[in-house]
Chains A and B, each alone.
Chain A
């Protein structure tokens, strides 16, 4: 028992800052979003209209949830729950991998397994740690909603749904850690499970059956395959039913039982899916340091490009639907346009919003490339490359170059998928030029994040990973949620995303983009040149 307590304490201690940031950040996002939603849609008739728009257009439901009446609490739950559950899910799977497979892979777990703690107790400790983290997260989200002025019972049901969903992802993460040999594999599977759960319920919600007044949607069966869907099924603030959460907990219990059964029979360090053998010698593609940088990033690139393509096709097919909607319910379109703001057409606003998200994806991908350089350095593999005739400056320049290619490929994937989706539109030509502009408009901001991350790497190598994600996260939240949250202009202006050109046909203002390209190139150049004076900084 005391060894378990020791292991648990070690986990809490190691994660205290990271988890605190994640949990408090999610709760703060919940709190500010409630205030913003209550502010923007304070009027019941406004909520009525926007719900009808959402239900009629369907695709919006993919990114929201199932409408459940015009009550403010139910409306907030509809808008936010899937997002918050997504964050909780990512927190949970990363947490689990960090303390299980990653430890095993580094053979640190072997030290522990050789003590009286044994092989199984670390897994128990990780389970308890993950459950605790999710209980705290659920409670804080509930308190944030109550503080935002929502009904207490519904808020606690929301909190319970958050916790139950997160616990399901803890179980899924533990299972993935048994399956895969590397932490990359386990993390990849964990993220795929969370994003898959999000999309499954998105598809189920969008394919659901609307009520006659368009204010309720009963989700279709795919939503019932997703832990996030089970959380939504509580119907917080209206039905307040905890029964669907039994599904989450039941599935978690089964998975955890399987995990312990596997753990009991497998060797330390082994995995259920054996590592596959590969080529005995390198192909021509791995001909030098650039080939290596490319190879190390290509799998990440594919994942992000697929995501961007999905977002791109959603954006343009959605725009096609708006045309249909304009015939059926013109007043709804007016409302929507007013909500999206400005004199832009509805199509322009939709495309801009969606490609804004694609811009965040491209920036994430670019940041990951730059972070890979740091991981190579910390892991010791960069040392071996730099002990060959490859100069440090060229080595970093190649990472920058891979970053640029990655940005272009992600945006091109979104652009091509977007073009494929224009088939449904009445005016494909306008849409094609709009989508082309929108895709181009995301290039500068991604270059800025690539350059800035490389600069951090050159000057504060040990801070690269943390600082890069924090900067990107804050900027993305300000850029995408900031206007909705009513943040002041000076604050919005701090985020590079605010300065991305907004596609508006011939009226598009590209000046912000040109500035950002300049900044992106300047930071990258400074970073590369600084490598001349920089020693290798080992991990830690």
Chain B
């Protein structure tokens, strides 16, 4: 499989701020790759480096095997980009901006094809192209960039939080477009904070935090990293005895006995090993909840929160 995006040990400093601190990212051809991380984690910065708009302070990044800083012009022929914060030209209408961006990308050579694609997107996104730049709402500005990106064929779509500001109906339209370009064989790098979007669209995800990659893999692989929750009714069994029983199971963690229900977690690949013990206890009302991605994300985002909360205290001690 060919690698479309490859970054290793990527570093970026802005003065004393370290935005990227050894980031790794691997995206292979044809996949829809989710790019996740808390605010300020470095997603937009990574994307800018990949597009040759910013230069890495260290590490390497390649796009289609080439250095994006040196070969920006050629590489951009193959890429469509939707920035995280779309600004428009105040004296250009939305329709003019769409045409301009498509022409710059060289995607309008087949005029009939382009016009048909554009018209289909204008209808799908219910977009009025006649207004001047500043008169558009946030969601409508976003649509300009999305329509311009999807109206021209590209090998790689780089989308930085593309659905921020879109209403749920428009998100559906967006999802359909991603499915379409993906079916046509294009690669997509999608930075997002919206878990349902990532779950629905992405084949693989990379999660970054403070400029470093902390997880990367298929959704199924990542699910394995989380624990499955097992719960059942106490059903008259004496709690202290029960607790002792479960403490005896080596794979069980995080035991809670509350309101007549017992719950604990098990590493997802160890679920089968606890079943004999449960059978022995003859438990009633058993539920086994598969790990949610939400939990996984919150674990990574949450550590960040804890780390941040800890900072001022360390400062105070120092």
Contact = CB atoms under 8 A, between A and B. Distances in A.
Nearest to A181: B134
Contact of B85 (A286, A287, A292, A380): A380
Given A381-B88, A383-B83, A392-B72, 16 more contacts: A275-B135, A277-B132, A278-B131, A280-B95, A281-B95, A286-B96, A286-B103, A299-B91, A379-B87, A380-B87, A387-B79, A387-B83, A388-B106, A389-B73, A389-B74, A391-B72
A278 B132 contact: yes
A275 B130 CA distance: 11
B33 interface: no
Interface stretch (B47-55, B196-204, B217-225): B47-55
B88 to A, nearest CB: 7
B91 A281 contact: no
B132 A384 contact: no
B32 interface: no
Interface string A281-301: 110001111011001100100
Given A288-B104, A388-B76, A105 B81 contact: no
B48 A182 contact: no
User: How would you classify the secondary structure of chain A's contact residues: helix, strand, loop or mixed?
Assistant: loop
A282 B144 CA distance: 13
B53 A387 contact: yes
B99 interface: yes
A385 B100 CA distance: 9
A536 B54 contact: yes
Contacts, number: 110
A181 B83 CA distance: 25
Interface of A: 105, 181-182, 184, 275-282, 286-289, 291-292, 295-296, 299, 379-381, 383-392, 535-536
Given A275-B135, A286-B99, A295 B93 contact: no
Contacts of B93: 277-280
Contact of B55 (A296, A299, A386, A535): A535
B145 interface: yes
B81 A384 contact: yes
6 contacts: A275-B132, A275-B135, A279-B95, A281-B98, A282-B95, A388-B105
A116 to B, nearest CB: 26
Contacts of B135: 181, 275
B89 A381 contact: yes
A100 to B, nearest CB: 15
Contacts of B193: none
Interface in B65-85: 72-74, 76-77, 79, 81, 83, 85
Interface string B115-141: 000000000000001111011000000
B201 to A, nearest CB: 22
Nearest to A185: B90
A181 B133 CA distance: 11
Nearest to B90: A182
B257 interface: no
Contacts of B132: 275-278
A275 B134 contact: yes
A278 B131 CA distance: 6
Contacts of A391: 72-73
Contacts of A380: 83, 85-87
Given A275-B132, A535-B54, A295 B73 contact: no
Contact of B91 (A282, A288, A295): A295
B274 interface: no
Contacts of A381: 87-89
B101 interface: yes
A275 B135 CA distance: 7
Contacts of A276: 132
Given A296-B91, A535-B53, A384 B145 contact: yes
B92 interface: yes
A276 B90 CA distance: 12
Nearest to B118: A281
A184 to B, nearest CB: 7
Nearest to A378: B87
Contacts of B134: 105, 181-182, 275
Contacts of B96: 278-279, 281-282, 286
A528 to B, nearest CB: 15
Which residue, of B55, B87, B130, has the highest number of chain A Cβ atoms within 10 A? B87
Contacts of B79: 387
A23 to B, nearest CB: 30
A390 B73 contact: yes
Contacts of B100: 282, 286, 288, 291-292
Contacts of B87: 379-381
A538 to B, nearest CB: 9
A354 B24 CA distance: 63
Contacts of A386: 53, 72
A372 to B, nearest CB: 11
B73 A280 contact: no
A284 to B, nearest CB: 10
Interface string B132-156: 1011000000000100000000000
A391 B68 CA distance: 12
Contact of B130 (A279, A299, A388, A389): A279
Contact of A389 (B91, B92, B106, B131): B106
A257 B90 CA distance: 30
B131 A277 contact: yes
Interface in B252-309: none
A282 B54 contact: no
Nearest to B54: A535
A177 B81 CA distance: 35
Which residue, of A276, A282, A535, has the highest number of chain B Cβ atoms within 10 A? A282
A385 B48 contact: no
B130 A387 contact: no
A379 B85 CA distance: 10
A244 B296 CA distance: 75
Contacts of B95: 278-282
Given A278-B93, A281-B129, A384 B73 contact: no
A280 B130 contact: yes
Nearest to A299: B91
Contacts of A288: 100, 103-104
Contacts of B92: 278, 282, 286, 295
A122 to B, nearest CB: 19
Nearest to A387: B81
Contacts of A181: 134-135
A282 B104 contact: no
B90 A388 contact: no
Interface string B27-55: 00000000000000000000010010111
